[in-house]
Amino acid sequence: MSTASRAADARPRAPRTSPAERAAQITAAATALALDEGLHALTLRAVAARAGVASSLVAHYAPSMEQLVAETFTAIVRTELAEVRAHAAAVREPSIRLRALLETLLDGSRDDVTGVWVDAWSIARRSAPLAAAVREQMTAWHAAVVDALRAAAPAATHARELDRIAAHVLAMVDGLNAHELVDYRAGGSGLALIAGMLERELSLPAGALTR
């Protein structure tokens, strides 16, 4: 044997880099892993393997796995929200923008993020840091939906009313996505469900959001 035996991690030594860069790499590895296999897969060793690094290095950079899970959740959802907001912002006409937002949320192209959300609700019951992170991101999403609604709603619509309708939308999006995650579908398209509800609630002409 030309190389000494390496029991714990069979892999070339990672090149020395700045702490900031290494931290970013570990965050990226954790993010990719969570999207691929869920928040449950965020293991000291699994993240380390993904980053091409010793597990003890991950432990060195993350205060604890509980924290790393919460931070990874936040990173994923925050990025997602920014992307979806940017995508919607590209649409000028408010009702079409609202529709674009809903389409993006429901088209099934984001199963990975949905999985992360469901894992988060489950784990958050036993993890205070994650619970706080989940509430924070839910609030951010609520604000984003309110923004989209406000632009599409009649100008006189009260803020309280927009809050209420946004809560309705988010409950449906989360419920429908959870259902899709186990391949359950009943009663037709979720998008049509929400669009129809919104046309009524916002006093939009029928079909304003459905086509």
Partner DNA sequence: CTAGATATTGATCACGTGATCAACAAGGGG
Partner DNA sequence: CCCCTTGTTGATCACGTGATCAATATCTAG
187 binds DNA (CB under 7 A): no
Q: Long-range contacts for 119-124 (Cβ within 8 Å, ≥24 apart)? A: 119/34, 119/38, 119/39, 119/40, 120/39, 120/73, 123/39, 123/40, 123/69
The one segment of 23-31, 66-74, 86-94, 167-175 that binds a copy of itself by CB under 8 A: 167-175
9 binds DNA (CB under 7 A): yes
User: Residue from 24, 28, 36, 45 that binds DNA (CB under 7 A)?
Assistant: 45
C-alpha dihedral, 14 to 15 to 18 to 20, nearest 10°: -40
Q: What is the C-alpha to C-alpha distance for residues 46 and 43, in angstroms, rounded to an integer? A: 5
User: Residue from 122, 140, 150, 208 that binds a copy of itself (CB under 8 A)?
Assistant: 122
Burial group, residue 200, by CB count within 10 angstroms (0-12, 13-18, 19+): exposed
126 binds DNA (CB under 7 A): no
154 binds DNA (CB under 7 A): no
Residues across the chain: 211
Q: Which tokens belong to 64?
A: 């604890």
CB under 8 Å to 161, separation ≥6 — which residues? none
Residue 8 interaction partner, one of a copy of itself, DNA, none, beta carbon < 5-8 Å per kind: DNA
Q: Under rule CB under 7 A, how many of the chain's residues touch DNA?
A: 30
Residues that bind a copy of itself (CB under 8 A): 38, 40, 115, 118-119, 121-126, 131, 134-135, 138-139, 142, 163-168, 170-176, 178-179, 181-184, 186-188, 190, 193, 197, 200
Binding site for DNA (CB under 7 A): 5-9, 11, 13-19, 22, 42-46, 53-57, 59-60, 62, 64-66
